[in-house]
Amino acid sequence: MDIDLAQQSIAAALEGSWEKAVTLNKEILKEDNKNVDALNRLARALSELGEISKAKKIAQQVIDIDPSNSIAIKALKKWTGIKSGDIIPTKTSSPEVFLEEPGKTKMVSLLHLGCLSVIGKLD
């Protein structure tokens, strides 16, 4: 696997360049079609482009390769009830936008979350 391609695909995702992320991860998969990291990144990129059916199939591929892969399991659960085209592509912001202090995690309890098709569209 080309580590440089993996880093480029991660950078593309962080910039919200989902088409580029798809292309780069597909390049990685040409060399190793069972690379679960590239498959997970590809599934995420496709979901951001609204291609939920393709994303679900790829996440299922990951689970077939690694049945305990938590990323793919969580993704499939998140995408339950969502159809292709439901998610409008958005640009990913820097993690620092959401965190007051990087490295700190906060937990909150939420009430009245809504239906799965709405929850699945959130990050």
CA distances to 51, 54, 59, 94, 114 from 39, rounded to whole Å, are 14, 11, 7, 23, 29
CA distances to 22, 28, 97 from 6, rounded to whole Å, are 11, 7, 24
* pTM for this model (two decimals): 0.69
pLDDT at 51: 92
Confidence of residue 106 (pLDDT cuts 50, 70, 90): low
Ranges 1-5, 15-19, 66-70: which has the least confidence: 1-5
3-state SS of 55-94?
HHHHHHHHHHHCCCCHHHHHHHHHCCCCCCCCCCCCCCCC
Phi, psi of 42 (to 5 degrees): -65, -45
pLDDT at 80: 84
CA 44 from chain centre, in angstroms, equals: 2
pLDDT at 86: 58
Q: Above 60 in pLDDT, residue 10?
A: yes
pLDDT at 89: 45
